[in-house]
Amino acid sequence: MKLIFTSLFLMITLSSFSQLKVVDMPEEENIGKVKNMFGTFFESYKQGEFFTIMYKDMNYDQIVEYKSFQMNEESFNELYELIVKKWENPPSDSIMIELKESFIWLDFKRALGITNLIIRHAPSKNANVYGRSAALTEKKVKKLFGK
Question: Tens digits of per-residue pLDDT, 7-27?
Answer: 656 566 555 555 777 777 778
Q: Decide if 100 contacts 123 (C-beta within 8 A).
A: no
The confidence score (pLDDT) of residue 105 equals 92
Q: Which domains does the chain have, with CATH numbers?
A: 23-144 (3.30.2450)
Q: DSSP letter at 146?
A: T
pLDDT, tens digit, 9 for 90 and up, residues 73-131: 999 999 999 999 988 888 889 999 988 888 899 999 888 888 899 999 887 777 677 88
Give the pLDDT band (50/70/90) at residue 38: low
Residue 6 has pLDDT above 80, yes or no: no
Closest to 80 in 3D by CA, of 133, 141, 135, 139: 141
DSSP designation for 134: P
Q: Which residue has the higher pLDDT, 5 or 30?
A: 30
Contact 69, 121 (CB under 8 A): yes
Comparing C-alpha atoms, which of 91, 114, 113, 115 is closest to residue 105? 91
Element containing residue 53 per DSSP (H, E): strand 50-56
